[in-house]
Chains A and B, each alone.
Chain A
Amino acid sequence: MNPDDRHYTQSHEWVRIDRDIGTIGITDHAQKELGEIVYLELPEAGHVFNADEEFGTIESVKAVSELFTPISGEVVEVNSAAIAEPGIINDDPFGDGWLIRLKLSTDEEVRKLMTAEQYGEYVKSEEK
Chain B
Amino acid sequence: MKFLPASDADREAMLRAIGVARVDDLFASIPAEVRGEPELPPPQSEIEIRRLFGELSARSANARSSAFFLGAGLYNHYVSAIADQMLYRAEWLTAYTPYQPEVSQGTLQSIFEFQTHVCLLTGLDVANASLYEGASALAEALLMAGRLCRGRRRAVLSAGIHPEYRETVRTYFANLDLEIAEVPLAADGGTDARALEAAVDERTFAVALQSPNFYGRVEDWKTASRAATARGALSIAVVAEAASLALLAPPGQAGIDIACGEAQSLGVPMQNGGPLLGFLACRTAHQRQIPGRLVGETRDAEGRRAFCLTLSTREQHIRREKATSNICTNQGLMALASNIHLSLLGRRGLREIATQSHAKAEYLKGRIATLPGYRIPYPGPTFNEFVVEAPAEAQPLLLRLARRGVLAGVPLSRYEAGSPNRFLVAVTELNTREEMDRLVAELGAAA
Measured CB to CB, the residues of A under 8 A from B are 39, 41, 59, 63-64, 66
Does B326 lie at the interface of the complex (its beta carbon under 8 Å from any beta carbon of A)?
Answer: no
Does B433 lie at the interface of the complex (its beta carbon under 8 Å from any beta carbon of A)?
Answer: no
Q: Could you show 9 A-B contacts with beta carbons less than 8 Å apart?
A: A39-B288, A39-B313, A59-B313, A63-B313, A63-B318, A64-B313, A64-B318, A64-B319, A66-B322
**For the complex of A and B, 5 pairs with smallest distance between CB atoms:** A64-B313, A59-B313, A64-B319, A64-B318, A39-B288
Consensus secondary structure, chain B interface: helix
Closest to A66 in B: B322
Contacts of B288 in A (CB 8 A): 39, 41
Contacts of B313 in A (CB 8 A): 39, 59, 63-64
Measured CB to CB, the residues of B under 8 A from A are 288, 313, 318-319, 322
Q: How far is the CB of A72 from chain B (nearest CB, A)?
A: 19
- Alpha-carbon separation in the docked complex, A41 to B314 (Å): 12
Closest to B313 in A: A64
Contacts of B319 in A (CB 8 A): 64
Q: How far is the CB of A99 from chain B (nearest CB, A)?
A: 17
- Alpha-carbon separation in the docked complex, A41 to B288 (Å): 10
Contacts of A39 in B (CB 8 A): 288, 313
Q: How far is the CB of B185 from chain A (nearest CB, A)?
A: 37
- Alpha-carbon separation in the docked complex, A39 to B313 (Å): 10
Most buried by A among B288, B313, B318, B322: B313
- Alpha-carbon separation in the docked complex, A59 to B288 (Å): 11
Contacts of B322 in A (CB 8 A): 66
Closest to B151 in A: A47
- Alpha-carbon separation in the docked complex, A63 to B313 (Å): 7
- Alpha-carbon separation in the docked complex, A59 to B313 (Å): 8
- Alpha-carbon separation in the docked complex, A59 to B318 (Å): 11
Most buried by B among A41, A63, A64: A64
- Alpha-carbon separation in the docked complex, A71 to B319 (Å): 25
Q: How far is the CB of B56 from chain A (nearest CB, A)?
A: 54
- Alpha-carbon separation in the docked complex, A120 to B338 (Å): 57
Contacts of A64 in B (CB 8 A): 313, 318-319
Q: How far is the CB of B6 from chain A (nearest CB, A)?
A: 41
A39-B288, A39-B313, A63-B318 known; 7 other A-B pairs, CB under 8 Å? A41-B288, A59-B313, A63-B313, A64-B313, A64-B318, A64-B319, A66-B322
Closest to B314 in A: A64
- Alpha-carbon separation in the docked complex, A41 to B319 (Å): 15
Q: How far is the CB of A1 from chain B (nearest CB, A)?
A: 30
Contacts of A63 in B (CB 8 A): 313, 318
Closest to B319 in A: A64
- Alpha-carbon separation in the docked complex, A41 to B322 (Å): 14
Q: How far is the CB of A42 from chain B (nearest CB, A)?
A: 12
- Alpha-carbon separation in the docked complex, A39 to B314 (Å): 12
Closest to A59 in B: B313
- Alpha-carbon separation in the docked complex, A40 to B366 (Å): 57
- Alpha-carbon separation in the docked complex, A84 to B288 (Å): 15
- Alpha-carbon separation in the docked complex, A106 to B318 (Å): 36
Q: How far is the CB of A125 from chain B (nearest CB, A)?
A: 27
Most buried by B among A39, A41, A59, A66: A59
- Alpha-carbon separation in the docked complex, A41 to B324 (Å): 14
- Alpha-carbon separation in the docked complex, A63 to B320 (Å): 12
Q: How far is the CB of B409 from chain A (nearest CB, A)?
A: 49
Q: How far is the CB of B359 from chain A (nearest CB, A)?
A: 48
Contacts of A66 in B (CB 8 A): 322
- Alpha-carbon separation in the docked complex, A63 to B322 (Å): 13
- Alpha-carbon separation in the docked complex, A64 to B320 (Å): 11
Q: How far is the CB of B262 from chain A (nearest CB, A)?
A: 31
- Alpha-carbon separation in the docked complex, A66 to B318 (Å): 13
Q: How far is the CB of B214 from chain A (nearest CB, A)?
A: 37
- Alpha-carbon separation in the docked complex, A66 to B313 (Å): 12
- Alpha-carbon separation in the docked complex, A59 to B322 (Å): 13
Q: How far is the CB of A83 from chain B (nearest CB, A)?
A: 12
- Alpha-carbon separation in the docked complex, A59 to B315 (Å): 13
- Alpha-carbon separation in the docked complex, A17 to B322 (Å): 31
- Alpha-carbon separation in the docked complex, A111 to B189 (Å): 65
- Alpha-carbon separation in the docked complex, A29 to B319 (Å): 22
- Alpha-carbon separation in the docked complex, A64 to B322 (Å): 11
Q: How far is the CB of A61 from chain B (nearest CB, A)?
A: 9
- Alpha-carbon separation in the docked complex, A64 to B321 (Å): 13
Q: How far is the CB of B383 from chain A (nearest CB, A)?
A: 40
- Alpha-carbon separation in the docked complex, A63 to B312 (Å): 10
- Alpha-carbon separation in the docked complex, A56 to B322 (Å): 12
Contacts of B318 in A (CB 8 A): 63-64
- Alpha-carbon separation in the docked complex, A120 to B115 (Å): 48
- Alpha-carbon separation in the docked complex, A66 to B319 (Å): 10
Closest to A64 in B: B313
